[in-house]
Structure 1
Amino acid sequence: MTAPIETTAAATDAQPEAVLAGVDKGQIEGRSLGQIAWTRFKRDKVAVAGGVIVVLLILMAILARPLQSMLGLDPNAFNQDLIDPNTSLPKGDMGGMSGAHPLGVDPKFGRDIATRVLEGSWVSLVVAFGATILSNVIGAILGVIAGYYGGRVDSIISRLMDTFLAFPLLLFAISISATLQGGAFGLNGLPLHLAVLIFVIGFFNWPYLGRIVRGQAMALREREFVDASRGMGAKAPYILFRELMPNLVGPIIVYSTLLIPTNILFEASLSFLGVGIQPPQASWGGMLREAVTYYQVDPQFMIVPGLAIFLTVLAFNLLGDGLRDALDPRSR
């Protein structure tokens, strides 16, 4: 009666070795945190779709000027022959849509809407990315310093964050943009408008990321790897930028994808109010401002740039939600 039991026990004990003996080394591979996050992200089809749209928008913005030069397109070219002199509206149906003008022309000067939307794409993305980078640099540095040192340093930086959060950003942006329309700091025209928008939006938005980084840094400073660095004699700058900051890349990336659409809307709002990008330079907010007069008789002039803003903001938000779930599944 004992022999079968001993045989079964021996077979059971030998099972792990037998299994491992039949597995090739190439079939057992460890995965990094990045690979695991990428696997999670690929499972979210909605986030992948948002990422594809974001990539296409970035490519469209980068290739906007080369495509215009290659195809001989001019976003500011007047086509008065396409405007009916009796109605002051584009000739034909659907806002003057044709093979040469697939999205129609604007009823004011007959300019091609598709070309102006293409031109406005790089303006919005340059302002959004520039402002996001500026706010992330300031917020990440001050946030990690406040979270690591604590005490008086944390109190000073936290009160500074509260001051910036209480600042009336929209009113300040309108006033400073209107004041610097002529020229300043050796800049004028479009470079000045872009620089002012990037500075105003980025410099006053850093506390949002700063608070996130501060909270994460306060939790990370008590971890074992930080204590080990201190025990090995590492200085504070090394711990801040070589130990803590790499562990904060995930939250920073996620917040950036959610901040970019906010900055796009802010730039479009300022251009719509007339204190952002100035004509004749095309911008999505500026196109909406020009379309206000004609939206009842030519709604397409407002729908096209409005859809461009809507799809861009939606794509970045979907991408941001997918990255958040992939990098931190516990937040779901």
Structure 2
Amino acid sequence: MTAPIETTGAAAEAQPEAVLVGAEKGQIEGRSLGQIAWSRFKRDKVAVVGGVIVILLILVAVLSRPIQALLGLDPNAFNQDLIDPNTSLPKGSFGGMSGDHPLGVEPKFGRDIATRVLEGSWVSLVVAFGATILSNVIGAILGVVAGYYGGRVDTIISRLMDTFLAFPLLLFAIAISATLQGGAFGMEGLPLHLSVLIFVIGFFNWPYLGRIVRGQTLALREREFVDASRGMGAKGPYILFRELLPNLVGPIIVYSTLLIPTNILFEASLSFLGVGIQPPQASWGGMLREAVTYYQVDPQYMIVPGLAIFVTVLAFNLLGDGLRDALDPRSR
């Protein structure tokens, strides 16, 4: 056996020059939790693809009106010359596809399907994002208050959550939307329909996030940083909004990306049933409702808006799954 090599204290100690060189080259670099989560997220190729699709969908929705103007097409313009008067179906093959109408035209009226899908995209995303923001604000505030204070406050808020969860949401939404179709609160038409859908979907969905936030708060309120804030004299509101809520951003973001596609489907369902967005305003659910009569002879009229809903919901779900794994790898 060879004798161990002895090193003197001076030789074993790192030289200052070496430390400086290493620092200059960035060999030792701390990373924040956000940077760690981003590096995990980038390794999930499926989630990255979902995120790219979501960004493209948002851009398409925001730029839908300029795109329509660029193409010179009106989603509500009738093109009766493209419709066979005997069958009420588009002339030509594949639903009347042409250079001017790349996705064809709808039966009976001849309105361009591509521009109506573009028009419906911003409607669905406005309702989905608006309802998600409303439910998140209510759910996050009530959830963190219930989890932090506990006792009677927790009991009252928890029973309120149970009450809202017991509502038959679809039937309740149909009743409210149908009642307010004509006009209410000084609004009418599309602004009224959008506001009603955002309120109904968002106001009755907050208990789902509220339960998640409450459960996370019950664990966080016993942590050292909360005790330190109390020891320094911090009051309840300061601890709630400056200490607890910032540590709940991750679960809220993940749940939001999973709630948005649910809200898109809910809005499409209400429009499909005739109590959501009303014609002539285009919406994906409304297009599916109008396509029911013609799906056997002109399936493309149903396939195009159906694919739009499918791709949007799938992209948000893939993004949500990736964010969940990146922010909480123990959930795998």
**Common fold: TM-score over 0.5:** yes
CA contact (8 A) 2:216 2:248 kept: yes
Displacement of 1:150: 0.4
Alpha-carbon distance change, 81 to 16 in structure 1, aligned in 2, over 3 angstroms: same
**Corresponding residue for residue 131 of structure 1:** 131
Report the TM-score, using the length of structure 2 for normalisation.
0.95
Displacement of 1:27: 3.0
Q: Could you say what secondary structure the match of 2:296 adopts? A: coil
Count of residues in correspondence between the two structures:
332
Name which of structure 1's ranges 164-173 and 83-92 shifts more when overlaid on structure 2: 83-92
- Distance of 1:111 and 1:2 partners within structure 2: 89
User: After TM superposition, what 4+ stretches of structure 1 lie above 4 angstroms from structure 2?
Assistant: 1-4, 7-23
Alpha-carbon distance change, 61 to 227 in structure 1, aligned in 2, over 3 angstroms: same
- Distance of 2:37 and 2:235 partners within structure 1: 31
- Distance of 1:241 and 1:46 partners within structure 2: 34
Displacement of 1:2: 9.8
**Corresponding residue for residue 77 of structure 2:** 77
Identity of aligned residues (%): 91
- Distance of 2:301 and 2:2 partners within structure 1: 89
Displacement of 1:5: 3.7
- Distance of 2:138 and 2:217 partners within structure 1: 15
- Unaligned 5+ segments in structure 2 are none
- Distance of 1:4 and 1:88 partners within structure 2: 94
**Corresponding residue for residue 277 of structure 2:** 277
Q: Could you say what secondary structure the match of 1:201 adopts? A: helix
Alpha-carbon distance change, 49 to 3 in structure 1, aligned in 2, over 3 angstroms: closer
Displacement of 1:67: 2.0
- Distance of 2:2 and 2:85 partners within structure 1: 106
Displacement of 1:14: 6.2
Displacement of 1:19: 7.5
- Distance of 1:2 and 1:249 partners within structure 2: 57
**Corresponding residue for residue 147 of structure 1:** 147
Displacement of 1:86: 2.0
**Corresponding residue for residue 317 of structure 2:** 317
Alpha-carbon distance change, 280 to 15 in structure 1, aligned in 2, over 3 angstroms: same
Residues 94-139 of structure 1: per-residue CA shift (max 9 Å, x gap): 0000000000000120000000000000000000000000000000
- Distance of 1:177 and 1:50 partners within structure 2: 32
Q: Could you say what secondary structure the match of 2:59 adopts? A: helix
CA contact (8 A) 2:96 2:104 kept: yes
- Distance of 2:4 and 2:319 partners within structure 1: 59
CA contact (8 A) 2:288 2:306 kept: yes
Counting only pairs closer than 5 Å after superposition, residues 1-332 of structure 1 correspond to structure 2 as 5-7=5-7, 24=24, 26-332=26-332
Alpha-carbon distance change, 4 to 304 in structure 1, aligned in 2, over 3 angstroms: closer
- Distance of 2:312 and 2:230 partners within structure 1: 45
- Distance of 1:289 and 1:300 partners within structure 2: 14
Name which of structure 1's ranges 209-218 and 12-21 shifts more when overlaid on structure 2: 12-21
Displacement of 1:33: 0.7
Report the TM-score, using the length of structure 1 for normalisation.
0.95
Residues 187-226 of structure 1: per-residue CA shift (max 9 Å, x gap): 0000000000000000000000000000001100000000
- Distance of 1:59 and 1:201 partners within structure 2: 24
Alpha-carbon distance change, 10 to 269 in structure 1, aligned in 2, over 3 angstroms: same
Name which of structure 1's ranges 8-17 and 318-327 shifts more when overlaid on structure 2: 8-17
Aligned alpha-carbon RMSD (Å): 2.1
Displacement of 1:92: 0.6
